[in-house]
Structure 1
Amino acid sequence: MQESFIETQAQLTDFIHEVGDSPWLAVDTEFIRERTYHPRLCLVQVANDRIATAIDPLALEDLTPLRDLLLDPGIEKVFHAARQDQEIFLNEWGALPSPVFDSQPAAALLGYGDQVGYGKLIQQVLKVELAKDHSRTDWSRRPLDKAQLRYALDDVIYLGQAYQKMKQALEKQGRLEWLKPEFETLTTETTYSLNPMDMWKKVKGRQHLKGAKLAVLQAIAAWREEQALARNLPRRWIIKDDVLLEIARRAPLNAQDLEKIRGVDGKFVRHNAAALTQRIQDALEIPRDQWPKDKFRANRPTPEQEAVLDVLSAALRLVAREAGLSPQAIASRKDLAALLNGEEKSPLRQGWRAQVAGKPLLELLQGKRRIELANGKLSLTRQ
């Protein structure tokens, strides 16, 4: 395997020329986002079956050749857990590499486990133990030493090798087509769009609020998101979750009351009180029928529904065993509840999950199937 570190435009041009006709490229990124809203791209690793390189975006003035390479529709881009990498490319270039292959959902279909980490996947597929020494590296610091570059290059060298084995196995099992809808979602821009008015759903502890106070939380969480985006700062640097919850609970309508809340200092009040209290006032005037509803509270199963979910969970284990998959790779209890509630967007009504598990589970709910115990063994049989 030919390896390199690219930090000049000439080196980048030569690399693009060498790999431009590849049918696939393994891709990974290193970034930091502790001090910013958007991830800061610090390194891009790319490999095929012959060449691997780490490209330094902090040293290069123009990444257009790399952009054109990764946006080439004739090259399949291989990632592990692609969402973060794709989000970075969309933010940097305003476009998404396509088509893609993501080894994480592929691993689930091959029985390697749900949401499996990269190191564990490589160990299972290639029997290679990867070093973990640099998982907390500050990739923005220069120069990078040999050990850091070794760690970064291994991320794409072994990913490419695993991809070739996994794709062959998926084709042999007739499951590669099952993944296409998931891969297409990763190349759709709306997948990465955030609606500020939905950010209250990410605030820990929101279940302790209800009614108008939940409307206040929705409004001020949206305000925080807008501020974080505009200033390119982490949300918690604008205001922490626990403080946000307390503001929603008290709903202060003036600067004096806002400043009485623990965690809110005078500087924050001087710069933000007017805008924040106006958002609170507007939220308190929202009609009752327009208050946000927390699905966690609204869709809490009844005791009878919990019993049905237990039955569905047992059936799911039977279906998973037959398919050679882990139940967790197919559906969570929350997904089963969505199926039970008739939600059209339930994962069990979409793609391969509908084919493998959704259809037989619906038939169980409709009385067309039953769980049968015979000779100490459970099975899901047709009526």
Structure 2
Amino acid sequence: MHVHPLITDNATLANLCARLANAPFVCVDTEFMRESTYWPELCLIQIADTEEAAAIDPKAPGLDLSPLLDLLVDNEEVLKVFHAGGQDLEIIYNLTGKTPHPLFDTQVAAMALGQGEQIGYSNLVDSWLGIQIDKGARFTDWSRRPLDQRQVDYAIGDVTHLSKIFPRMLERLKKTGRGAWLDQEMERLADPANYANDPELAWKRVRISGRKPDVLGRLKAIARWREMEARAKDLPRGRIVKDETLADLAGHPPKKQPDLARVRGLSATWAANDIGKRLMTAIAEAQPMSASEMPPRDDRKPGLGKEGALVADLLKLLLKIRARDIDVAPRLLARGEELEALAAGQREGLAILTGWRYDQFGHDALDLVEGRLGFAVQGGRLKMTRTEGNAV
């Protein structure tokens, strides 16, 4: 494989992207910093097919990333391969308003091949290629310039290794017949809605007890305010106000701005400065949350009950057994909230009751809930049994 020197000029980048536009797939990774900013700071982009690889410096003066971004989000003929690509996709979405498509994530694919729910990149490389990655540059400051060759080599390795792993992984998925299992997961990952950071929905990230409409309405208003302040200052939202303080303000709102001096987690200066004034305005203008926006109740409380919770626990045991038997990560088959919904009586809108998930697990889960399936120990191994006594 030909590895290019660090790309910092438009002509080299455009020529690279023109060639890669004819590749069946490209492997992509990014290096970024986000500890002290609201928006992730893109510091390096790595890309490779089976023939060539390069690192691109987005901080190079005058560099136009358009050919690369067009390749990633507008070229439907080239498959884009990532590993645990959520944050990479977020960065690309922030730059373009789109996400790469079609998409393949090797961490998700590894779930279908029995490699756990969140295999790290270094473990993936070790398991497929027998290579131990030198992690010395892992925690480097990617924003500093110039980058040294060790940093660039480390970064490019993320895509050169992936370009060898992906074809092998794809071949194994074909042999096991599990490639189709991943289509829905990959489409879900590629959905731009996952990466749209809507200030109106920022309150959903904050944990708060209780369901009073006035409290949740205040939480929505001040979470939106915090989001806008963080964006304007390009600071992490926690640097403006931490979640626990936000929840406290929603539940126990100060009556006057000077009262902010007594709120734990806020600077005493907020009692008289402009940011404190804007916070008080957000609190004063908050409206009770409408019934249509209210979050659903926790099924474990009134809906699921103690008996239902026990059934949900049995379903989780069944999930572990089934995942073990077919050698996949349990989370690929079902999520905990789905099992609780099934135990509470829900039958509509559950992924485990459709498609391949129904065939591999949902059918048995439904039989367990409805009394047609039980557990038995046979030869020291926990197995599922039909009520008629026929082992599954």
**Residue type of the partner of 2:2?**
Q
Aligned-partner Cα distance in 1 for 2:237–2:231: 8
**Residue type of the partner of 2:12?**
Q
Partner of 2:64: 62
Aligned-partner Cα distance in 1 for 2:235–2:140: 21
Runs of 5+ in structure 1 lacking a partner?
none
**Residue type of the partner of 1:39?**
P
Deviation sequence 1:192-222 (CA, Å, 0-9, x none): 2234343333235x23x55343443333222
Deviation sequence 1:329-358 (CA, Å, 0-9, x none): 433444421332327454534664344222
- Name which of 230, 233, 236 aligns with 1:234: 236
1:221-300 counterparts in 2 under 5 A? Answer: 221-265=223-267, 267-269=269-271, 270-283=273-286, 286=288, 292-293=294-295, 295=297, 299=301
Aligned-partner Cα distance in 1 for 2:264–2:71: 51
Instruction: Tell me if structure 1 keeps the 8 A contact 2:79–2:104.
Output: yes
Give the direction of change, closer, same or farther, for the CA distance of 1:13–1:193 in structure 2 (3 Å limit).
closer
Aligned-partner Cα distance in 1 for 2:201–2:342: 23
**Residue type of the partner of 2:31?**
E
**Residue type of the partner of 1:181?**
Q
RMSD over aligned Cα, in angstroms?
Answer: 2.6
**More displaced stretch, 215-224 vs 125-134:** 215-224
Instruction: Tell me if structure 1 keeps the 8 A contact 2:260–2:268.
Output: no
Give the direction of change, closer, same or farther, for the CA distance of 1:350–1:235 in structure 2 (3 Å limit).
farther
Instruction: Tell me if structure 2 keeps the 8 A contact 1:26–1:78.
Output: yes
In the TM superposition, residue 28 of structure 1 has moved relative to its aligned partner by: 0.4
In the TM superposition, residue 303 of structure 1 has moved relative to its aligned partner by: 2.6
Question: Aligned pair count?
Answer: 380
1:84-99 counterparts in 2 under 5 A? Answer: 84-99=87-102
Partner of 1:218: 220
1:157-176 counterparts in 2 under 5 A? Answer: 157-176=160-179
In the TM superposition, residue 10 of structure 1 has moved relative to its aligned partner by: 2.1
In the TM superposition, residue 318 of structure 1 has moved relative to its aligned partner by: 2.1
In the TM superposition, residue 43 of structure 1 has moved relative to its aligned partner by: 0.7
Secondary structure of the residue that 1:186 maps to in structure 2?
A: helix
Aligned-partner Cα distance in 2 for 1:13–1:289: 52
Secondary structure of the residue that 1:262 maps to in structure 2?
A: coil
Give the direction of change, closer, same or farther, for the CA distance of 1:322–1:241 in structure 2 (3 Å limit).
same
In the TM superposition, residue 163 of structure 1 has moved relative to its aligned partner by: 0.6
Partner of 1:2: 2
Partner of 1:193: 196
Provide TM-score, normalisation by structure 1: 0.90
Deviation sequence 1:160-210 (CA, Å, 0-9, x none): 111111111111111111111111122222122234343333235x23x55
Give the direction of change, closer, same or farther, for the CA distance of 1:350–1:254 in structure 2 (3 Å limit).
farther
Partner of 1:130: 133
**More displaced stretch, 60-69 vs 111-120:** 60-69
Please say if 1:359 is aligned against 2:363. Answer: yes
In the TM superposition, residue 22 of structure 1 has moved relative to its aligned partner by: 0.7
Instruction: Tell me if structure 2 keeps the 8 A contact 1:217–1:245.
Output: yes
In the TM superposition, residue 33 of structure 1 has moved relative to its aligned partner by: 1.4
Deviation sequence 1:110-150 (CA, Å, 0-9, x none): 00110111111111122211111122221111111111111
Secondary structure of the residue that 1:101 maps to in structure 2?
A: strand
Secondary structure of the residue that 1:122 maps to in structure 2?
A: helix
Give the direction of change, closer, same or farther, for the CA distance of 1:343–1:274 in structure 2 (3 Å limit).
farther
Give the direction of change, closer, same or farther, for the CA distance of 1:195–1:297 in structure 2 (3 Å limit).
farther
1:333-372 counterparts in 2 under 5 A? Answer: 333-341=336-344, 342=346, 344-349=348-353, 352-372=356-376
**Residue type of the partner of 1:353?**
R
Instruction: Tell me if structure 2 keeps the 8 A contact 1:218–1:292.
Output: no
In the TM superposition, residue 88 of structure 1 has moved relative to its aligned partner by: 0.8
Secondary structure of the residue that 1:6 maps to in structure 2?
A: coil
Instruction: Tell me if structure 2 keeps the 8 A contact 1:109–1:175.
Output: yes
Give the direction of change, closer, same or farther, for the CA distance of 1:230–1:294 in structure 2 (3 Å limit).
farther
Aligned-partner Cα distance in 1 for 2:289–2:158: 52
Give the direction of change, closer, same or farther, for the CA distance of 1:274–1:57 in structure 2 (3 Å limit).
same
Of all paired residues, the percent bearing the same amino acid is 37
1:145-160 counterparts in 2 under 5 A? Answer: 145-160=148-163
Instruction: Tell me if structure 1 keeps the 8 A contact 2:318–2:365.
Output: yes
Aligned-partner Cα distance in 1 for 2:150–2:164: 21
Instruction: Tell me if structure 1 keeps the 8 A contact 2:38–2:234.
Output: yes
Deviation sequence 1:11-42 (CA, Å, 0-9, x none): 21332243331111000011111222221111
Give the direction of change, closer, same or farther, for the CA distance of 1:219–1:252 in structure 2 (3 Å limit).
same
Aligned-partner Cα distance in 2 for 1:238–1:181: 37
Aligned-partner Cα distance in 2 for 1:129–1:302: 49
- Name which of 343, 361, 385 aligns with 1:381: 385
**Residue type of the partner of 1:104?**
Q
**Residue type of the partner of 1:2?**
H
